Amino acid sequence: MTRFGDFEPLCRNTPSYQWCNLFFKQALRTASQILTGASSDVATAPVGINPVCGISFVGTNGSLANIGNIVACALSLIFVAFLIWRSSMRRAAVGRVEFLYFLLLYFVSLILNLITTGSFLHQGSTALVVLTAIHAGIVAALFWTLVGNALVSTQIVEDGTLSSLIPFTFFTLAFFAATTYISLDVAFGFTTVFGPSNPPADLHSIPLFVLTNIWEGAAAIIYLALMLYIILFMLNEVKPAYFYLLAAVLFILAQLDGFLLSKVICEGVSHKLDGTFVATVLETACVGVLYLGWKSITEESWDDDYYRR
């Protein structure tokens, strides 16, 4: 029976689910016999643990290392770089520095996403595990910056000042450090606190599950609720709320694609690619809409009306 914190169903049924890289290393380290099927040969093993559908290591079985997601990440990097440039030019906008933090972390996460969901590095290799752990830390920190941006938008403290940036940066680093360490501990077993899984076949880790799954959803909900409150009750506007609702829809669709549609695509094209490229496009579109939402509530007329009171 599946328990809260079990990654086994996700690693088996969700193609290119990058956090499984950590458990692959754990399985090799503990010499457990859970690696079967496509995962039994490290030289060709795809991302996942005994995946129903996976993309083999680049160059084997005609694999192009998830070419769809490579293209999606490359185009997304260009787009996000443009958003970073545009955001940096809006020097008087409320929360500019904090929003730049968010965009920069998303930019880094795209680079790591390309590597950890592709089949460029052999499963179980130290390089892949370390990069996956860093990726997990970046994603956890990214969602904190999302919540932090909403808190800054309430103007409880003045944005861009030390009273805002010190706690904002502290919690960003805290989420990154904690999640990265837990991820490394799951893979390498530095302590018995976060691993190994018991029983090994369940790929069990409650802290990692919370930080890589529950925290993302919770942070997105908190962010949406705070932004809708700010827009509807503090700014007394309606139109900007549509941007944030659209962003929420795009985020949900990205999650549904990753967990449901990805396997269908993978099986439909004979393991040549999966649906991660769709999720990447939807997530990047979500970030683009968030930029439009942030831009719409930081126009100069509103800056004078509310934020500078």
Angstrom distance (rounded) from CA 244 to CA 301: 20
Cβ distance 76 to 279 under 8 Å?
A: no
Determine the average pLDDT of the residues in 299-303: 50
Average pLDDT of the residues of the chain: 91
Is residue 302 predicted with pLDDT exceeding 70? no
Q: Tokens in use for 171?
A: 């919690």
Per-residue confidence (pLDDT) for residue 306, from 0 to 100: 43
Give Cα 80 to chain centroid, integer Å: 15
At the second CATH level, the architecture of 8-307 is Up-down Bundle (1.20)
Query: Could you write out the three-class secondary structure of the chain?
Result: CCCCCECHHHHHHCCCCCCHHHHHHHHHHCCCCCCCHHHHCCCCCCCCCCCCCCCCCCCCCCCCCCHHHHHHHHHHHHHHHHHHHHHHHCCCCCCHHHHHHHHHHHHHHHHHHHHHHCCCCCCCCHHHHHHHHHHHHHHHHHHHHHHHHHHHHCCCCCCCCHHHHHHHHHHHHHHHHHHHHHHHHHHHCCCCCCCCCCCHHHCECHHHHHHHHHHHHHHHHHHHHHHHHHHHHHCCCCHHHHHHHHHHHHHHHHHHHHHHHHHHHHHHCCCCCCCHHHHHHHHHHHHHHHHHHHHHCCCHHHHHHHHCC
Rounded percentage of the chain residues whose pLDDT exceeds 90: 76
Domain ranges of the chain: 8-307
Angstrom distance (rounded) from CA 181 to CA 240: 38
Q: Over the stretch 2-42, which tens digit does the pLDDT of each residue have?
A: 899 999 999 999 999 999 999 999 999 887 789 999 999 98
Which pTM does this prediction carry? 0.94
